[in-house]
Amino acid sequence: MLSLRGLHKRFGNVIAVDGLSLEVRRGEILGLLGPNGAGKSTTIHMAVGLVTPDQGTVEVAGRGSPRQPGVRRLLGVAPQALAIYEALSPEENLRFFGRVQGLSGRALAERVDWALSFSALEDRRRDRAGGLSGGMKRRLNLAAALVHDPELLMLDEPTAGVDPQSRNAILDRVVELRTLGRTVVYTTHYMEEASRICDRVAIVDHGRVLALGTVADLISSHGGDPVLVVREGGVERRLPTRDPGGELARILAAGAVEDFRVERADLEAVFLNLTGRRLRD
């Protein structure tokens, strides 16, 4: 659905993207996971044709560059900033963005109704967007990307700055988009989000893809062994092992254990192992 091949982008002395390549499959949610400044947003901007790569190519749905108007029609973008007009109502915002995407008449009205319903903003459709809660504004930001029914959605940190309840609501809606057959590229620096909704995750840092795969594959390949933590005589011991059950049985056979737990690797550990840094450093 989206091919990014050998992308390079430099802003002055700063290399934002450094030879990034990625293939996004139709109907999947692909997460771009990386810390702030990793190059995720610049990659998204190149993918939608806002920024011209210094090197490399972008191809959408096998139909060419996203700089072509016909190709742009396939794209829906929810920028990290709240790209909505606060003086307009949700309905007015969606009608406007639908119009600039070429919708009109009954088709426009139907899509606006659908987007309001999808984002659970029907009750607030005529209120000023500026008066909505942060979570509602985020949902409207997402709805504005969907109003023209695009095939490929680029969601850039769509849960930034919202409370856990609103975050859950947004993540549920992104998953729903996959069931509707849409392809989603989802950038985030929250590993929990990537683990929860992404079919595959690309670990990005310094403008490069360090690893790509399903969450399980990434943990298996780069997360390291599970760690068995046991407490004996008030002292806690951490034992990395590929077989925590067998290891625990051996320890129990040797003596009393006050408590134990198994710590399994997560994407944070994957990132730490790949970069030597934590995601939020």
Partner 1 sequence: MAASSLRAVLALTGKDLRLLSRNRATLFFALGWPILMALFFGYVFGGGGEKGRIPVAFVDEDRTAESAQLLSRLQATAGLEVTPSIREEGTRLVRQGKRSAAVIVPRGYGLASERLFHGAPRKLELEVDPARKAEGSMLEGILTGAAMQSMQDLFTNPAKTRGMVDRSIVDLDAAPGSTDKESTRKFLGELRTFVDRPRQTAEGGSSAAGQGWKPLEIELREVRNEKVGPRSAFDFTFPQGILWGVIGSALGFALSLVSERTRGTLMRLETSPLSRLDVLTGKALACFLTIAAVESLLLALGAVFFGIRPASWAMLAAAALSVAVCFVGIMMTVAVLGKTEQSASGLGWAIMMPLAMFGGGMIPLFVMPSWMQTVSNVSPVKWGILALEGATWRGFSPSEMALPLGVLLLVGVAGFGLGVRLFRGGED
Binding site for partner 1 (CB under 8 A): 11, 42, 45, 48-52, 66, 69-70, 72-73, 75, 77, 79-85, 87-88, 92, 96-97, 99-102, 104, 144-145
The residue among 68, 83, 59 whose CA lies nearest residue 147 is 83
HEC sequence for 203-267: EEECCEEEEEECHHHHHHHHCCCCEEEEEECCEEEEEECCCHHHHHHHHHHHCCCCEEEEECCCH
CB-wise, 85 or 114, nearer to partner 1? 85
Whole-number minimum distance, CB 195 to partner 1, in Å?
Answer: 27
Instruction: Report yes or no: 237 and 230 within 8 Å, Cβ to Cβ.
Output: yes
The residue among 156, 215, 194, 158 whose CA lies nearest residue 279 is 194
Give the three-class secondary structure for 26.
coil
CB-wise, 48 or 174, nearer to partner 1? 48
CB-wise, 14 or 252, nearer to partner 1? 14
Neighbours of 131 (CB within 10 A): 11
Whole-number minimum distance, CB 102 to partner 1, in Å?
Answer: 5
Whole-number minimum distance, CB 147 to partner 1, in Å?
Answer: 11
CB-wise, 145 or 209, nearer to partner 1? 145
Whole-number minimum distance, CB 273 to partner 1, in Å?
Answer: 31
CB-wise, 17 or 174, nearer to partner 1? 17
Whole-number minimum distance, CB 259 to partner 1, in Å?
Answer: 50
